Structure 1
Amino acid sequence: MLRSGIMTVVFGFGYFLGVHDFGFFLLVQLVCGLFQSIGWPCVCVAVVGNWFGKSKRGLIMGVWNSHTSVGNIIGSVVASSVLGFGWGWSFVLPGGFIVIMGIVVYLFLVVSSENVGFELVGKEVEMNVEGVPLVGLEKVDSGEEGMVESENTDSLAAIGFLDAWRLPTVAGVHLSHKTAGILSTVFDIGGVIGGVLAGYISDMIEARAVTSVVFLLLSIPALIFYRIYGSISMFTNVRMMFLSGLLVNGPYSLITTAVAADLGTQSLVKGNSRALATVTAIIDGTGSVGVALSPLLAGYISTRGLNSVFFMLTVSISIAAMLLIQVVKTEI
């Protein structure tokens, strides 16, 4: 967290120092991504997994995983609120927050319940019904992991969230960077609810892959409807964006947290907490490959029209669902 925050601040300093070398920004982002990748498997899954057994893991991880969407919301609001002072502040301020929270985590994080004298009730080694490892799980990520800023020549007059809701139409209306940043948080708000809902359902039916596939399949018509009806009005756009975030983030939340914890605590690794971090890193790293490639692919495909991008998204979701079929059969 400290190094991630520092590298984010360094990226922002490129604005104040007048740096225009693409190689500088590329190098900073690569190093920052390296440091950021450590956090999810080690802390967000392995440490939390040390505190909870399987019985409520889906719900617990669903609630916990909402911090990614909350972070996206806060990050968008913070970054867009200072954009008027120069895009550099959109990196320096969040980077400073990360450094501060890194110090808080260093001082107060308790890695395991045993470290403070608690015995974890219901902690067990897990495997599927046939006693074999679960395989074939992929991470489905929204890909909203970064921000690309350009010189802003538009009016940056403030607009409230409710004011944005009351805009008469989204078709053909130019929105400022600040307004767009606020509206983009709707997807993450839906993601918070989707992650919690998917975790609760997976605990209730004891089938995480089945839950993930159902959410994935439902997200396909949601995206199609968003493309067709999203331009009718701002209210319709927000509703469809919220629904898409809910359905997309559900399986993402499950696979990167509860499913990773299940895989990392099966009998093959004998409940080794370090194995949990390694398994999570593999799953998260696989998803990061998609996060890195999908914007490039979307940018190329978008030259043929926005419909082609939505087609790419539905195909990607369909592939993700098919990769889970074998695990679904095992769970059923």
Structure 2
Amino acid sequence: MIHSGADVPLGIKAIEACGTKSQPTTRLRKYQLMVLLLTFLTYMSYHLTRKVTSVVKSTLNPKVDDDWDNINSGWYPFNKGEPDADGARNEGKALLGLLDTTFLFAYAVGMFFSGSVADRSNLRIFLSGSMITIGILMGVMGLANFWEIHDLWYFLFVQAVTGLYQATGWPSVVSVVGKWFPRGKRGLVMGIWNSHTSVGNILGALIPAAVLGWGWGWAFIVPGIIIAGLGIIMYFFLIVCTSSLAPPTPVSICCSHQSAEDTEKTTLLNVAGDVPVQHQAVSFWKALFIPGVISFSLCLFFCKLVAYTFMYWLPYYVQHTKIGGHTLSDSESANLSTLFDVGGIAGGILAGFLSDRLRKPALINAFFLYIAVPMLFIYHTYSKDSTSINIFLLLITGAIVNAPYALITTAVSADLGTHETLRGNPKALATVTAIIDGTGSIGAAIGPYLAGSIKSWDDVFWMLMASAAIAGLMLTRQCKDELCGKPKKQEAYTFD
């Protein structure tokens, strides 16, 4: 049965009407899995569409051959400029960086507002409407290929609007998942769940690369169809909150600020049918000054600067760098770059597992960040030697770079969003997530822009190494507290 008056999707009503009765715990587990799957697919599609520009860069601004036979290839204005000694047209390369920066700055700005809007909105409608809109915008971007549009402002405008709508995804899905899982059990769950980022990046490289031969416009249109289709599925099946379920479910999974003994006796909804406690959304400033939010936000600024530089420029870097004396094609470089995200899946899961076991997220993040500094140097220095070495180093580098990024944006954000100072109010989840990820997204915007503007790849990697080191330093105070203090006990909170 469904809780009366709850906002229940039509698809769930149909499932409940046709299904058989089961134990409350079994039903809750079933819907937890459904929520994890739906939110996984949702944010996977967000990253799938976000990755496309990195794949088409080498088509819009291809490397010029030594004999200049393909000097007129590419797509104006992104193929502007005279080629340098390596065949790269840096003027067009800078415009591609500007394209990324426009998207990411719009994303960062939208992130600071989307969290507050999400906390005050019906997340199911908010998410599904945004996904369908992103699908339309991807189609508009791809049609530039067939409409012969070469106006830079057209591309910048579409990217800016897309960035604003892309900002709706992360605060919303973290808020939904955070309402279904208690603190202390999120690290591993969200570490596995957060692989949607890497899976989306992998598919966002493989799918556009597969259709690139039809014309670069299809690289945008096909992912646009995918995210719009998933948006429709979300509208019909996503249950935002456990309070939509009835009869009441055990609180062993979703608990409140009570002792462990009392918590076991409490249910998500009052058995007598009382109205659940109503919480007010938390203001931006109150969320900002929750202990740890500013430190982890600044850390994520530099984490995402590194991660997103790889995300947007790795296929281009691989295609413009001879590996074992050979130059890879556009599709080959896109396929090889996916190994960075394969490593990222393992890194995210490992970081989540360690967070659950050690309960010291700052120390875990700092460890990965400091290890990332020499690993970035090793990758840049030795990845050119052979394809097998490049593959191995990409997997290791991807795991180390993505681990802290994945942990901060999932379990850490959700834990801070249900901090004890909030007294059980879950309505800060999206706002806190938006603050942390919004700050990180500013770094994500700066990194790709600098990578496009800096002419030497050596200097780009020195920038990345410095950013990883600074990210670790941002957590110095939290690391000191975790070393001096005792691990925090599992905190519980009441779901709306």
TM-score strictly above 0.5: yes
Seen in structure 2, the aligned counterparts of structure 1 residues 299 and 206 have a Cα distance that, compared at 3 Å, is same
- Describe how 1:300-315 pairs up with structure 2 within 5 A: 300-301=453-454, 303=455, 305-315=456-466
If the length of structure 1 is used for normalisation, what is the TM-score?
Answer: 0.88
Of 189, 192, 196, the residue aligned with 1:60 is 189
**Inter-partner Cα distance in structure 2 for 1:209 and 1:61:** 16
- Describe how 1:73-152 pairs up with structure 2 within 5 A: 73-117=202-246, 118-121=249-252, 123-124=255-256, 133-135=291-293, 136-137=295-296, 138-139=299-300, 140-141=303-304, 142-143=307-308, 144=310
Q: Shift of the alpha carbon at 1:93? A: 0.2
C-alpha contact (below 8 Å) 2:417/2:433 kept by paired residues: yes
Matched, 1:317 2:468: yes
- Describe how 1:287-302 pairs up with structure 2 within 5 A: 287-301=440-454
SS class of match (1:184): helix
Please give the per-residue CA displacement for 1:35-73, whole angstroms capped at 9, x wherever unaligned.
111110111x11111111122211011011000100111
Seen in structure 2, the aligned counterparts of structure 1 residues 281 and 145 have a Cα distance that, compared at 3 Å, is farther
User: Which of these two proteins has the greater Rg computed from alpha carbons?
Assistant: 2
The residue number in structure 2 matching 1:159 is none
Structure 2: state its 5+ residue gaps.
1-130, 259-289, 484-496
SS class of match (1:52): coil
Of 178, 183, 200, the residue aligned with 1:71 is 200
- State the identity %: 45
C-alpha contact (below 8 Å) 1:52/1:120 kept by paired residues: no
Matched, 1:29 2:159: yes
Q: Shift of the alpha carbon at 1:299? A: 2.5
C-alpha contact (below 8 Å) 1:113/1:119 kept by paired residues: no
C-alpha contact (below 8 Å) 1:75/1:94 kept by paired residues: yes
**Inter-partner Cα distance in structure 2 for 1:221 and 1:147:** 20
Amino acid at match of 1:327: Q
Structure 1: state its 5+ residue gaps.
127-131, 155-168
The residue number in structure 2 matching 1:49 is 178
Between the two proteins, the alignment pairs up a number of residues equal to 307
Q: Shift of the alpha carbon at 1:145? A: 5.2
Please give the per-residue CA displacement for 1:170-193, whole angstroms capped at 9, x wherever unaligned.
144211111111001000000001
Seen in structure 2, the aligned counterparts of structure 1 residues 295 and 249 have a Cα distance that, compared at 3 Å, is same
C-alpha contact (below 8 Å) 1:207/1:331 kept by paired residues: yes
Q: Shift of the alpha carbon at 1:124? A: 4.8
**Inter-partner Cα distance in structure 2 for 1:324 and 1:105:** 37
Amino acid at match of 1:91: F
SS class of match (1:223): helix
If the length of structure 2 is used for normalisation, what is the TM-score?
Answer: 0.59
Q: Once superposed, which parts of structure 1, at least 4 consecutive aligned residues long, lie more than 4 Å away?
A: 144-150
C-alpha contact (below 8 Å) 1:125/1:265 kept by paired residues: no
Q: Shift of the alpha carbon at 1:233? A: 1.0
Q: Shift of the alpha carbon at 1:114? A: 2.7
SS class of match (2:292): coil
Of 117, 121, 134, the residue aligned with 1:4 is 134
The residue number in structure 1 matching 2:398 is 245
C-alpha contact (below 8 Å) 1:113/1:120 kept by paired residues: no
Of 301, 320, 328, the residue aligned with 2:479 is 328
SS class of match (2:194): helix
